[in-house]
Structure 1
Amino acid sequence: MKLVPKKESQAKDNQKEMKKRTDTGQPKNKGVRGWKEKFDSIIDKLPKDINPSRSVGIRLFLIFFIAIMFFVLVIGLLSYQMAKNTIEKNAETASQQTIVQTSQKLDIILQKYEETLQQVFLDDEMQKAIRDASLATSSDYDRFTTSNQMRNRLNSMTFSSKGVVAVYMVPGEEGLIGPVTSGSADNTFVNEIRNEPWFEDMAQTSQVRWITAPNDNAGGTQIFRLVRSVQSVSSMKRFILVADINLEILNGYLQELNLGNGSKVQMITADNVIVGSSVEGEHGQKSEFTLQKKEGERSGSTRIKNAQGRTVLAVYNTQENSDWTLMGVLPTDQLTKDARGILVTTFISMAVVAAIAILIGMWMVRMIARPLVQLMKLMDEGSKGNLNVRMEQKSKDEIGMLTVSFNVMMEQIMQLVKQTNDSAQDVLDTAAELTQASNKTAISAKEIAIATEEIANGATSLANEAERGNELTENISRQMDHVISANKEMESSARQVERSSQQGTEYLNELLQKTSVTGEMVNALTEKVDSLKSSTSSVLKVLDVMQNITQQTNILSLNATIEAARAGAAGRGFMVVADEIRQLADQSRQSITMVGEITDNIQKEMNETVQALSEASPLFQDQIKSVKETSQIFVSVQEQMEGFVQHLDSVTLSIDELNQSQSVLSEAMSNVSAVAQQSSATSEEVASLSSEQETVGEQLVNLSNKLENVSNGLKESLSKFSV
């Protein structure tokens, strides 16, 4: 029976469905909605007892759909992350370069203020006014005049330098002249300037400092200050110059610097106080951003949190002149704003890919699930007994191969059922014959069991006797083992004595050689000491000659002194030389006397050494003789031990032969005992097997009956299959 759906019937069903939808006003399948309806129709055609989630087609569709969506999502997120990192890196590099360039520009501007302030102080008129004011004879009028001259020079700087609000010149020492100011001076600052924490340090050495100023200054203008300590060339007096610079100069440069939307630029001190900012009203306040700079690092970038807890990128550079830090801050989310388009594109792509994946999945379900459902129905028919079902092969893929395999399987099952029917009849016939043979076997087994039991009794008595003989043999074997062990210990001790004798002989030979060498060394040492005595005598002769030379030198210096005295004043220099020669002669005489005493001591010690060596030489000869006699004794002991070892070897050979004979006897007795035990065990086993055979015979009879019943049941079960 072939359950194959026909194409004509499918076409008719589709036409009816289309006509039905047209009549009811329902639109035809279009787009995703049409594919969804087709998918639902495929699910409806599945057997009701199968869960759609367990279908192979549905699983393949889910795997394909999830894999495609996962890969698209991963690629999109990776692209977004890579673009985000690239944009952040480029923005960070560009911002860092901008901050560094702006910082260098501000360094140049601040350096210009420092140079201008120094030029005003070193001006000839300013130096002349300072010199006149420092004169002690100057009257109050003169000092007033010089103060006006200084104020005029400071006014020239105030009016000619852009951004300079006021200039102060304060002497480092009180009592010289009062403070000189120009421009919109802050009188409170002038009166309290000597109480500033930096004033005393600035009054001692030449320094330049940039400091912040409070917002409530007298002029009402926000400023920051340049403080410079300089020394007058003419009077060598030190003055503190202070210039108030309008903060708008600094803020103007900072406001021109734009790092992006939401960015902010600040100039902060080492205490994190804002000097200037691109945002109005932050002067003199604590910065909300805290930089964590490494030691010695002047430029860099980092990511920090702002007051709202958002992550921002901070780029900074430390000023060369003021040691302030120029910091630019911009939100990181503004940097990656353009990269969000990649995420939008990713989600759109996911939607498009999801639609395509659904269409492909529907096609996969239709291509795989329908043939499998059809095959399942045919197998259900086969399980009910209809073995004639076959499936038509429509494709040459794995499903087509599965169709061929199903048809071959059904054909082989049908042949197997036929063969099983024939075999069941043969088994039924054989069961009857097996029952008769089993009855005969059971009778023979009873007779064999009786005879085997008698054989087992005789084998048991033989095994007992063999066991007693084996015990006696083992006792003799243990005694022989004790004898062999004692003999081996004697042999080991004898060989140890022999080795010790050989070693002692070798040691004595070495001692004899070393003693001979020592005697020769003593003789050589005696000869060398005699030679050294001769050398010492030569030294004494040389010392006598040097003693004579010293005496003659002394006489010569005495004559030179006499001649110098006769010469009077002209011979004084020669008298000094003669005196030095005489002192040198005395020192030489003392040294020669000391060397002579040392040489006498050496000669005395050498005589004692020669006498000691002469006394030691006979002792070495006696020692050599004793060592030779001891060596002969060790040689005699070694020869006797060699003979004793040879006798022990012959005794050991005899004991080994006796032990081998004893082993053969013990092995023979063990074999007899083993054979007897084996015969007894075999007899018991045969008896047991006979009993088992009798039991098996009875079981065979029962099995034959069961086999006959099973054959009948099998035949009845196979009768329901139509072949």
Structure 2
Amino acid sequence: MLSIKKPKKLLKFSPSLPFLKKKKVQSQQPITKTKKRFVPIKRQLITICILFAIVPLLIINTLSSSIAKSTLRETSQHLTEQMLHQASLNITSFTSQVEKNLTQFIVVDLLQSNLLAQYFSTDTLTMVKAVSNIQKQMIYLQSLDNTISNVAIICSDNKMLGKIPSLTTEDLALARELQVGNRCTWKKGLGTNEKALFLIRDIQYAGSTTGNTCTFVAEINQSIITSILDSIELLDNANLTLLDTEKNLIYNSNPETTAFPDDLWSTISTTAELTSIEQDNLLTTFTTLDNSWKLVSEVPVVSLTQRLNLASRLIWFLVLVLGLLAILVGSQVANSFSKPIINLMQLMKKAEEGDLTVHMLPKGNNEVTQLCNSFNYMITNIRTLLEQTQVVIAQTLENSQLLTNSTRHSVDTFSQLATSVEDIAKGTAVQAEDAHLGSLAMSNLALSIQRLLEKSHQIYEKNQGAKVLIQKATQSMSALNTSTTSSTQIASSIGTSIMELSQLNKGIESMMQLVDGISEQTNLLALNASIEAARAGDAGRGFAVVAQQVRNLSEQSKESTVKVRQTLNEIGQKNTSTTKLIDRSNTIFSDQVVAVEEVSSSFTSIIDTLKVMETELNEINNQLEDMEQLKEATLLKIANIASITQESAASTEEVSALSEEQKHVIEQLLALSHNLTTSMTSLNESIQTFKLK
């Protein structure tokens, strides 16, 4: 639509109307005041007293508590490491002594005395005496060494010397299967007995074969280890644990503990040195013994700082008491400052409500007294200013009434002139709008024709691309049909080869039957040869061995034919399965050939249809080009009409704008007069709200 804009010549009059301009700016950008939070002076003074009384104590308590806790943790960690080191030495001494006693028993009492060699003797009497002597030495060992509860020896012939009541025969056999070698191995739990502690070692005496070995098993008295670790004094809720290399609990100061945490075990199992770590509020210290056992101490951090926390609570209580005292002292001091200020605030509140007769009686001689005198002087000046303003307002109201009457008459005159010019402008505007609408309609028609022409070209190009793609697809379908035929021929050849392979399997089967007959005859011949060799006595022993070997070969030949026959059966089954698969593939290939022929026929029909569409699209493009030329001629004629109409509208608009400008100036003067009268009236009413006398 053709738009007609009025000239903005009214801006040149704005400097002559400063009051109106100022009022407009103020209405567009209102000033917003953010109300701040009111904080009484009394509260501030009390807060300062509390801060000066409490903050230093808080800082000192926090720093001293932190330093004391750090020092206490380091000292406790050092003492715990020393305690674990001493305990590990005691346990290592115990285990080393036990291993030494058992090694001495094995070397001196069993090996050097040649008792084991006598036990494996072929002489029954020598073996019986050796068994008796070994059992006496075992009883003697148990009676002299209180660390050993029971002992047993498991021999290579599965015979056992001695007895451990807590273990069954099967459990002792498990100890021999461990094959620990010529070193002492500690084992927590064996077979069905999971609580006892055992020491195991394999024994092989000089001159014996690898088969004549024994396994020595000793049940160790755990009460000695328990007494060593129970003698250690621990802190409250602390825990001491002894573990073997398989994470089995040998000792734990807490009887309710049945398992060791996996996450902590993964940490300590890879470290052999004496180490301390803090994890999950626990100070964990651990070390590794000579036999790879782990001795672990767990001390809660709370137990280390229990008394220190109690002292810290007492200090916090003192801080609270001092805070209450600071509140009382601060209240007394704040009252002496806040009462005069509160009275001054009450008088200022009355002044805000319009009472300008208020007066503050100052007391003393300080900053608050000076503030009261300044307040009294300010109220007096405001009261005098308002009285003078009332006189000025009365004079201004009289002058504004005269200005209002004169401007109202001028406004009526310019209103009649503006009405006449406006009627002329309306007719011209309607004519310009009609020309503009016609131009827009033709432009829209041109755009539609252009889009239709572009769409037609796109369809034509896509039609050509589709025709090429379908031709390529037809060629691909022909190649697929050829490959399908070749696949069918290859499948037929594979089926023929499999049938020939089946015939060969049948021939091999007949050969296997012949081999079975030969094997049976050979077996029978070997049996007869064995009988004849037995009749010949010593002279036929060599012949008997040969006959036995022949018989063995016959049996092996028979077993081989059985295995070959099983393999041939499996090959026959696989041939049958393969033949079925080939038949199924031939059927699928036949269906595929039919489908390819149908698809090729469909592609040929689509190509014919696309050729017809190509001819029709060429005709549509020619018609659209003729419409485009007709549109250009129509747009040129409408543009000439719109130009003439626009010139007429511009001339009319100038006349109307001048009239409107003069009318607007007079209206501004009238509005200014009204605003001035209203402002003076409001100001007078506002001043009347103040109490001046």
TM-score normalised by L of structure 1: 0.50
Quote the residue 1:91 is aligned against: 76
The C-alpha deviation readout for 1:83-118, integer Å capped at 9, x for no partner, is 446534653454245335523542343133223322
Task: Give the conservation status (yes or no) of the 8 Å contact 1:442–1:693.
Answer: no
Q: Deviations over 1:400-439 (max 9, x none)?
A: 7xx44x6445434423332332332233133224323433
How far does residue 352 in structure 1 lie from its aligned partner after superposition? 4.4
Matched, 1:297 2:270: yes
Q: Secondary structure at the match of 1:421?
A: helix
Paired letter, 2:406: K
Which structure 2 residue ranges, 5 or more long, are not aligned? 1-36, 444-638
Q: CA deviation at 1:232?
A: 0.6
Offset at residue 301 of structure 1 (A)? 6.5
Could you say if the C-alpha distance between residues 376 and 276 of structure 1 is closer, same or farther in structure 2, counting changes exceeding 3 Å?
Answer: closer
Quote the residue 2:389 is aligned against: 423
Report Cα offsets for 1:639-694 as digits up to 9, x if no partner: xxxxxxxxxxxxxxxxxxxxxxxx9x99999677434313223324545666x479
**Which amino acid is 1:294 matched to?**
S
Aligned to 2:313, which of 318, 321, 344? Answer: 344
Report the alpha carbon displacement of residue 62 of structure 1 after superposing the two structures with TM: 5.6
SS of equivalent residue, structure 1 residue 339: helix
What amino acid sits opposite 2:366 in the alignment? S
- List per-residue Cα deviations over 1:129-162 (Å, max 9, x = no partner): 33334332x352x345444554565567556656
Q: Contact (CA 8 Å) 1:127, 1:232: kept in 2 or not?
A: no
Matched residue SS, 1:123:
helix
| 1:562-573 to 2 correspondences below 5 Å | none
SS in structure 2 opposite 1:258? coil
Q: How far off its partner does 1:372 sit?
A: 1.0
Cα distance in 2 for partners of 1:356, 1:100 equals 53
Amino acid at match of 2:203: V
CA drift at 1:172: 2.9
- Does the C-alpha gap of structure 1 residues 667 and 107 become closer, same or farther in structure 2, counting only changes over 3 Å? farther
| 5+ long unaligned stretches in structure 1 | 1-52, 306-310, 479-662
Q: 2:118 is matched by which residue type in structure 1?
A: D
Distance in 2 separating the partners of 1:126 and 1:150: 13
* Counterpart residue identity of residue 233, structure 1: A
- Give the structure 2 partner of residue 116 of structure 1: 101
Q: Distance in 2 between matches of 1:442 and 1:379?
A: 46
Contact kept? 1:301, 1:314, Cα under 8 Å: yes
Distance in 2 (CA, whole Å) between partners of 1:465 and 1:150 is 137
Picking from 654, 657, 666, the partner of 1:681 is 657
Q: 1:265 to 1:714 in 2, by over 3 A?
A: closer
Q: What is residue 120 of structure 2 aligned with on the other side?
A: 134
| 3-state SS of 1:235 partner | coil
SS of residue paired to 1:287: coil
Write out aligned runs for 1:462-481 (5 A). Answer: none
Q: What amino acid maps onto 1:57 in structure 2?
A: I
Quick check: 1:232 aligned with 2:216? no
RMSD (CA atoms): 5.3
Deviation of 1:711 (Å) = 7.8
Query: Quick one: distance in 2 between partners of 1:715 and 1:264?
Result: 87
Which residue is 2:408 aligned to? 442
Change (3 A) 1:671 1:356: farther
Find out whether 1:172 has 2:147 as its counterpart.
Answer: no
Cα distance change, pair 200–159 in 1 and its aligned pair in 2 (3 A): closer
Letter in 2 for 1:226: L
Measure how far apart 1:369 and its partner are.
1.1
Question: Does structure 2 retain, via aligned residues, the 8 Å contact 1:319–1:325?
Answer: yes
Q: Secondary structure at the match of 1:297?
A: coil
CA contact (8 A) 1:302 1:315 kept: yes
- The one-letter amino acid paired with 1:351 is L
Equivalence map 1:479-498=2 (5 Å): none
Matched, 1:209 2:209: no
Residues in 1 aligned to 2:100 and 2:279: alpha-carbon distance in whole angstroms: 37
Is contact 2:428–2:645 with CA below 8 Å preserved after alignment? no
Aligned partner of residue 217 in structure 2, secondary structure: strand
Matched, 1:56 2:56: no
Query: Aligned AA for 1:343?
Result: S
Shift of 1:294: 0.8
- Distance in 2, Cα, partners of 1:466 & 1:246: 120
How far apart in 2 are the matches of 1:686 and 1:115?
Answer: 129
1:592-631 alignment, distance < 5 Å = none
8 A Cα contact 1:460 1:676, kept in partner: no
Does 1:198 pair with 2:174?
yes
Shift of residue 714 of structure 1? 6.6
Paired residues of 1:427 and 1:708 also in contact (CA < 8 A): yes
Q: CA deviation at 1:174?
A: 4.4
Q: Which has the larger radius of gyration?
A: 1
Q: What is the one-letter code of the residue matched to 1:208?
A: C
Deviation of 1:391 (Å): 3.9
- TM-score scaled by length of structure 2: 0.51
Contact 2:181-2:201 at 8 Å conserved across structures: no
CA–CA distance in 2 between the matches of 1:189 and 1:709?
A: 117
2:330 to 358, 361, 368: 361
What is the identity, as a one-letter code, of the residue corresponding to 2:147?
Answer: G
8 Å contact from structure 1 (residues 460, 680) kept in 2: no
| Gap change, CA 1:709 and 1:130, over 3 Å in 2 | closer
Matched residue, 1:641: none
Structure 1 residue matching 2:311: 3-state secondary structure: helix
What's 1:385 paired with?
356
Distance 1:82 1:345, change over 3 A: same
Q: Is the 8 A contact 2:50 2:326 kept in 1?
A: no
Structure 1 position 703, deviation (Å): 7.3
Aligned match of 1:395: 366
AA paired with 2:230?
Answer: Q
Partner SS state of residue 294, structure 1: helix
Query: Take 1:702 and 1:132, find their aligned partners in 2: how far apart are those partners?
Result: 138
Change (3 A) 1:269 1:431: same
Aligned to 1:257: 232
Offset of residue 350 of structure 1: 0.9
CA distance in structure 1 between the partners assigned to 2:660 and 2:129 by the alignment: 149
Q: In 1, distance between residues paired with 2:420 and 2:103? A: 140
Counterparts in 2 of 1:223 and 1:429: CA distance versus 1, 3 Å: closer
Residues paired across the two proteins, number:
453
Distance 1:105 1:428 in 2: 114
Instruction: Please give the per-residue CA displacement for 1:257-286, whole angstroms capped at 9, x wherever unaligned.
Output: 22334545343557776544668xx6xxx7
Whether the aligned pair in 1 keeps the contact of 2:357 and 2:692 (CA below 8 Å) is yes
Whole-Å Cα distance in 2 between the matches of residues 670 and 430 of structure 1? 49
Shift of the 116–413 alpha-carbon distance from structure 1 to 2, 3 Å rule, reads: same
Cα contact 2:175–2:200 (8 A) shared by 1: no
* DSSP-derived class of the 2:185 partner: strand
Partner of 1:267: 242
Indicate the SS of the match to 2:261.
coil
CA apart distance, 1:165: 4.8
For residue 654 of structure 2, what is the amino acid of its counterpart? Q
* Distance of 2:116 and 2:221 partners within structure 1: 28
Q: How far apart, in 2, do the equivalents of 1:711 and 1:169 lie?
A: 122
